Structure 1
């Protein structure tokens, strides 16, 4: 009889223990759901941390920002860089470049001072390096990392981060100087509309062939690039400072996430414009690159691409040739 009662006791103990475990499991699941709901609703808690978001476990929208970065911003930057390069290569293959009518004269007209050339490269070189390293930091983990050895990737992304950080300051200086000093020559004029309609005379077929619309010191395309660079360069510089020096500015978590999105979006736009600018100044325009190397341009280039400016400096006695 004692054995029977002992067996019944063990059975009842096991049964109630099983029920207890089941109830505990159910309670744990419900508790987890409640906690996550509270987190998403912005519930705060207590911690010994002294940071700005010390009482907040997680921002529920953090994951949405990361998804935006991986699904939209990263591919967009790749398209802005490589897509624009492919488009221009195909365009040049089909259309050809804009050649100088009658060829080079050999007479070089003064266009940019040495200081202007210097600040152009002060902004341009860091800009190119920031685009390439930014591509690695924004899109590298999704498009490059799977095909690279882990150790190589770690060293590569670390180097990209260092270059990106160190090039930020000279880029901001170059951007600020160019924006302030060059704005006066970048104001829109009525004749810029005609320049846009004829695509600046760079089309070599159909009704556009041989057309070279009027342009002042800067043509409509250069003005469009300048103001895009000025505006989105401002966004990049402001958000870049917040991201680069968080301890100095102490941005909130939300502001940091907004800065990340604005920084990436502005970089995508500037990347696309930069590719257009580089191709137009080098491959598309015969003799155009000389301007930002020596500060001088061929006389025929000035007459063909910036006729109003050439006529103005000639009439004012400001036309100077390289001796």
Structure 2
């Protein structure tokens, strides 16, 4: 009897379950889409920014998600400051680089057409005076060589995809950019070391003095043929180059270290700031170095020897660095037959 009652109860439960499930099973299956549009429900970025700005006045438009690690920066999904940085990097930065570098080249070309090569007025004497030691020239060329590669590889980051990519093609440009990146990262260290040694070696000769004011008033004797103003080992123009290299090099070094080790910069906003500093310092220093190269080669007769052989002609030294020549003569470092007449 108990067995029969259990069977009846089980049968009743099954019937009730089937009755409840029947309406659900009777519903037709939803129609399948004939085409998939993955962007149909996507959010327009500009519209999202405007809505966030309107809904949260004064709080910015940064959009954050959720994360499980302590680093809150990893949760940032949209950062509007990044949009501003991208606009600057891909727009204003190109204009600044073009104006600084191409403008300097244009000015130097115009100066050469008007002034030509600055000659040694009394001709070469045949006597030499040591201007830079082997160590000084080694440091100079180490910094110069590194800077040339760093400058070219840095410009590749800024304008390479617009200038080189169409010429080289995607594959060749990718390989070139990769090796340029390696060179930029590793040559930064000897560049910084050279800057430090250069500073310690020459800072004593590059302190501004009253003599520099006269040199500036006379335009260094380079604007027209005539007497050159007196100068010590470095004149006012060379001192300007020195401090531009030191200040610009320090800005490049500090910002470059932050870019190489981004976790030390203090966040994404700080990295964007140092990236801008690095780019601006780089293109402005390139423009300054172009003027330095011009004066040391095509622009002035006898100047290149200072950083090649280390010795310069005595007449050249008298015209451009008369006070320094007198100091060297007082130390007994001139040829005994050389006659010293400092320029007035």
3-state secondary structure, aligned to 1:61:
helix
Q: Is the 8 A contact 2:61 2:79 kept in 1?
A: no
Aligned position for 1:94:
114
Partners of 1:35 and 1:46 lie apart in 2 by 20
C-alpha distance 34-216 of structure 1, shift in aligned 2 (>3 A): closer
Aligned position for 1:288:
303
In structure 2, which of residues 221, 229, 234 is the aligned counterpart of residue 213 of structure 1?
229
More helix by share: 1
Partners of 1:79 and 1:32 lie apart in 2 by 36
Partners of 1:187 and 1:33 lie apart in 2 by 52
Partners of 2:103 and 2:75 lie apart in 1 by 44
Aligned position for 1:231:
247
Aligned position for 1:14:
none
Q: Does structure 1 residue 304 correspond to structure 2 residue 324?
A: no
In structure 2, which of residues 273, 289, 292 is the aligned counterpart of residue 277 of structure 1?
292
Cα deviation, residue 255, structure 1: 1.2
Aligned position for 1:241:
257
Cα deviation, residue 49, structure 1: 5.0
Aligned position for 1:132:
152
Aligned position for 1:6:
none
Partners of 2:179 and 2:213 lie apart in 1 by 44
C-alpha distance 121-232 of structure 1, shift in aligned 2 (>3 A): same
The answer to which of 294-303 and 249-258 deviates more is 249-258
3-state secondary structure, aligned to 1:99:
coil
C-alpha distance 253-306 of structure 1, shift in aligned 2 (>3 A): same
Partners of 1:274 and 1:52 lie apart in 2 by 42
3-state secondary structure, aligned to 1:109:
strand
C-alpha distance 221-46 of structure 1, shift in aligned 2 (>3 A): same
Cα deviation, residue 154, structure 1: 1.5
Instruction: List runs of 5+ in structure 1 lacking aligned partners.
Output: 1-24
Query: What value does the CA root-mean-square deviation take over the aligned residues?
Result: 2.6
Q: Is the 8 A contact 1:192 1:220 kept in 2?
A: yes
3-state secondary structure, aligned to 2:80:
coil
Matches within 5 A, 1:16-165: 32=48, 36-37=52-53, 40-49=60-69, 51=71, 53-165=73-185
3-state secondary structure, aligned to 2:99:
helix
Query: What is the CA deviation profile of residues 62-109 of structure 1, one whole-angstrom value per residue up to 9, with x for unaligned ones?
Result: 011111112122232233333322321232122111101222112110
Query: What is the CA deviation profile of residues 182-229 of structure 1, one whole-angstrom value per residue up to 9, with x for unaligned ones?
Result: 10000111121221222211123xxxx213111111010000011111
The answer to which of 119-128 and 158-167 deviates more is 158-167
Partners of 2:265 and 2:282 lie apart in 1 by 23
Partners of 1:88 and 1:174 lie apart in 2 by 27
Partners of 2:281 and 2:154 lie apart in 1 by 12
Q: Is the 8 A contact 1:52 1:252 kept in 2?
A: no
Q: Specify which structure has the bigger relative contact order, considering alpha-carbon pairs within 8 angstroms and separated by 6 or more residues.
A: 1
**TM, length-normalised to structure 2:** 0.78
Q: Is the 8 A contact 1:215 1:307 kept in 2?
A: yes
The number of equivalent residue pairs is: 292
Instruction: List runs of 5+ in structure 2 lacking aligned partners.
Output: 1-39, 337-344
